[in-house]
């Protein structure tokens, strides 16, 4: 349940639904597995995992939800091979070449026949609503997948007035300045990874991993105009992560100070452990996310 990525959204209006009301509204899209001829299926499942029917888990005012997507696996190479065999068989029988439309129909019919026998895989995407702080936080490194979760939430809740997080200062300019000056605000330190990009269209990209970013070669890239679009950072020796140009947090790690806090708790059941983890994680983010906005001049509400 510990989030590995953060895609951040801000409420533009107060969120007033209770956890019980969210639960009731999500029921309309409870997850159901793919039917025989379905290529995919999406719905809400319990954040608590198997054995629980609860669709919205609430603790300390935070509401956790979990979207589940199941997809059938039909390897393109297998489909293409079968399609070619079928087309050759038909063309031989009819002594003519099939049109493009007919070839497409052959492919569609084959996929329809194969779907009931196809393997399937599923993935869960967690998100939580922070009504007091005004956040929706999605555990996804993909903006598109995060937007899909929000879109499904809107369908169920009726509305979800949120926008992507936006700051006064542009992250690219600020992170570039940090790296040029080898200096960061209090509580933030630069780690050993970055990605630099030239501002021109189709500009070159330089990626550095496990590298001393204070070395002259990095500064040379910056002096020639490259800008920081990803930067590895450490916050208060509590969180380490990669921050990108859209203020998305990726490869998030909870460091020893938080792990020790978790170890000091006495949770006996899975639900108790989930509640402890959720409480500690959201309390940490309640401190970290406002600070993240401050690093870039605060929130731009215009």
- Tell me, what's the pLDDT at 69? 94
Residue 54 has what pLDDT? 95
Which pLDDT does position 274 carry in this prediction? 93
What digits encode the pLDDT tens for the residues 228-246?
999 999 999 999 999 999 9
Closest CA to 282 of 93, 19, 3, 82: 3
| pTM, entire model | 0.85
Instruction: State which H helix or E strand residue 19 sits in.
Output: helix 19-26
Cα–Cα distance, 238 to 233 (Å, whole number): 11
Determine the Cα–Cα distance for residues 21 and 102; give it in Å rounded to an integer: 50
Low-confidence ranges of the chain (pLDDT < 50): none
- Which pLDDT value is given to residue 180? 92
What sections of 72-188 are H helices per DSSP? 76-94, 100-114, 143-157, 171-181
Encoding tokens for residue 202? 């189709």
Return d(Cα 112, Cα 110) in angstroms, integer: 5
Q: What is the pLDDT of residue 147?
A: 95
Q: Give me the sign of the Cα torsion angle 111, 117, 119, 122.
A: positive
| C-alpha–C-alpha distance, residues 13 and 163, integer Å | 10
Q: Are strands 119-130 and 135-138 parallel, antiparallel or unpaired?
A: antiparallel
Gap between the Cα atoms of 239 and 127, Å rounded: 19
Can you tell me the distance from the alpha carbon of 195 to that of 218, in angstroms, rounded to the nearest whole number?
Answer: 10
- C-alpha distances (whole Å) from 232 to each of 32, 195, 212, 224, 249 are 39, 9, 11, 21, 10
Give the pLDDT score at 267: 82
Q: Give me the pLDDT at residue 9, please.
A: 97
Provide the terminal-to-terminal Cα distance of the chain, rounded to the nearest Å: 34
């Amino acid at each position: 349940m510990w989030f590995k990525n953060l895609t951040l959204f801000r409420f533009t209006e107060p969120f007033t639904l209770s956890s019980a009301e969210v639960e009731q509204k999500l029921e309309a899209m409870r997850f159901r597995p793919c039917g025989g001829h379905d290529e995919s299926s999406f719905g809400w499942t319990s954040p608590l995992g198997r054995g629980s029917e609860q669709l919205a888990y609430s603790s300390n005012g935070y509401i956790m939800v979990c979207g589940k997507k199941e997809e059938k696996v039909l390897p393109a190479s297998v489909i293409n091979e079968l399609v070619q065999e079928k087309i050759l068989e038909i063309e031989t029988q009819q002594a003519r070449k099939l049109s493009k439309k007919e070839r497409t129909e052959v492919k569609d019919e084959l996929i329809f026949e194969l779907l009931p026998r196809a393997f399937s895989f599923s993935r869960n995407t967690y998100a939580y609503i922070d009504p007091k702080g005004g956040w929706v936080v999605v555990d996804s490194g993909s903006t598109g997948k995060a937007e899909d979760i929000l879109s499904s939430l809107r369908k169920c809740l009726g509305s979800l007035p949120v926008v992507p997080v936006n700051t006064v200062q542009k992250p690219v300019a600020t992170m570039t300045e940090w790296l040029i000056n080898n200096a960061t605000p209090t509580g933030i330190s630069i780690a050993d990874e970055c990605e630099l990009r030239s501002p021109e269209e189709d500009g070159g990209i330089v990626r550095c991993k496990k590298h001393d970013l204070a070395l002259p070669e990095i500064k040379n890239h910056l002096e020639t105009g490259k800008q920081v679009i990803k930067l590895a950072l450490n916050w208060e020796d509590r969180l380490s992560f990669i921050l990108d140009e859209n203020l998305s947090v990726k490869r998030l790690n909870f460091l020893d100070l938080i792990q020790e806090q978790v170890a000091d708790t006495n949770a006996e059941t899975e639900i108790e452990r989930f509640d402890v983890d959720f409480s500690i994680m959201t309390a940490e983010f309640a401190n970290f996310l406002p600070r993240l906005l401050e690093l870039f001049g605060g929130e731009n509400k215009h």
